[in-house]
Amino acid sequence: MRSFKKSEKARKYKERAQPAARERYGLLEKKGDYRQRARDFHKKEKVIKALEEKAYFRNKDEFHTKMLKSKTKDGVHQGVVAQGKTYSADEIRLLKTQDFKYLQMRASVDRNKSQRLQKTLHLSSSSPSTSSSSSSSSSSSSSSSSFSSATSDNSSRKRKHTVFVDEEEDIEKFNPAEYFDTVDELVDRPVNRLKKKQLKEPIVKNITAIARDEGESPLVAVKRTSKGIDKKLSKKYKELEQRKEREKKLNEMAGEIQMQNYLQGKGKKRKIVKNGVVTYKWERERKR
């Protein structure tokens, strides 16, 4: 019987609630609430008592040098007035030189990163939508077949890929899909144009198999996958453009700081304004 009582779950602890008649006064205060309130009250009481003692024993004739820098406003102490440190001309020039070197370092970092990023890219349009057109030109020695593709619907700029052939008859027989070893649906793409050999790879086969299961054209699925690659490319191009722009701004800021250093330096100088452009000329000094 004793072991059964030990295994029995203990009764859930319940706090006494506020009586219904006193519900308007909020929750019933418990002992823990009272202790917290009492500690807070006595803490404030000690602070007030200490301040009263300090005011009672204060010497009215007391003086120290800190009083010269402090002030009161409407009888309220404002503390010490902060005074900025004054720098000499040489110190300011040194600080600006440090800023100039830091800006140069940041510009160098962006330049190196943009160069590495540029090497990984093809410097071509990321996701062009193409419209094919054929044109031919002949010369005394050779003939060529060219087809153009527009980079976007809004832009008038067109990109051309010219293929040279030996005879003019080859222009009429020219087949872009056969030449680029791809299918007709992917001929328009200037980048990520998969070849027939690549279309037979396991990854592409999986994409086409999933597309067939979902009732979608395999070539449409391949195009959609290529568009995902194009989005990543466009993101990289955007990063490259931003890095180049930041490098340009940093170089401009560094040049401005360097000019300020030159102006603060020694030597007679003359300001020349020509067509709204300000330039400075320094007099030549004879070297000993």
Contacts of 267 (CB under 8 A, 6+ apart): 282, 283, 285
Q: What are the φ and ψ backbone dihedral angles of 234, each rounded to 5 degrees?
A: -65, -35
- Domain residue ranges of the chain, discontinuous segments joined by +: 129-180
Return d(Cα 38, Cα 35) in angstroms, integer.
5
Q: CA–CA distance from 147 to each of 134, 142, 219 (Å)?
A: 5, 17, 22
Instruction: List the Cα angle 178/184/190 in 5-degree steps.
Output: 85
Return d(Cα 105, Cα 62) in angstroms, integer.
55
* pTM of the full structure: 0.40
Sign of the torsion angle spanned by Cα atoms 272, 274, 277, 281:
negative
Q: pLDDT (tens digit, 0 to 9) for every residue of the chain, 288 residues total?
A: 567 777 777 777 777 888 889 889 888 888 989 999 999 999 999 999 999 999 999 888 888 888 887 888 888 887 765 666 777 877 888 888 889 899 999 999 999 998 888 887 754 444 333 333 333 333 333 445 555 544 444 445 666 778 888 888 878 888 877 787 777 766 776 666 666 666 665 545 555 555 555 555 555 555 555 555 567 777 887 888 899 899 999 999 998 888 888 888 778 888 888 888 888 888 888 777
